Amino acid sequence: LSESGVPQLVQPMIWDYAADLDVEGKVHLIEKYRRCGFSKVWFASAFKGATGVNQSLILIGHHLKNHLQWLKVASQSPADVLEGIALTGWQRYDHFSVLCELLPVAIPSLAVCLQTLENGGYSEKVKENVEKLLGMPNLEIDTFMR
């Protein structure tokens, strides 16, 4: 792979939407990419659309945990390797599937995930900031929003 010249042309993106993604495995994968000549990698997470083909409501806690895991991967990787993170929001699993988790119900999840990445973690301050930004009296993380 390193002899092909591909590492000078592209940057790999590592996708994982799991709440319990394997941090050690991802760090090891990044090391493999570096040995092949890739100087930068991207991460891909999800703020919606990754928990079920017919999911209509969002469990913010699942996506929050995924982003917290990606922050662990970033902290255990060389400082200069991460180019960025793409927060994906899948609308459907394939062209024959129903729409899942429409954007309006996903806005709180997107806000929590973005604020978590911006602040390097999740805290009561992050929760309060999201509530203030969205005009919500009580952001629910571990249950479906009402």
pLDDT digits over 56-103, tens only? 888 999 999 999 999 999 999 998 999 999 999 988 878 888 888 888
What residue ranges do the domains of the chain occupy? 6-134
Per-residue DSSP letters for 79-123?
A: TTTEEEEEEEE-S-SSTTSPP-S-HHHHHHHHHHHHHHHHHTS--
pLDDT digits over 7-58, tens only? 999 999 999 999 999 999 999 999 999 999 999 999 999 999 888 777 888 8
pTM of structure = 0.92
For residue 91, what pLDDT is reported?
84
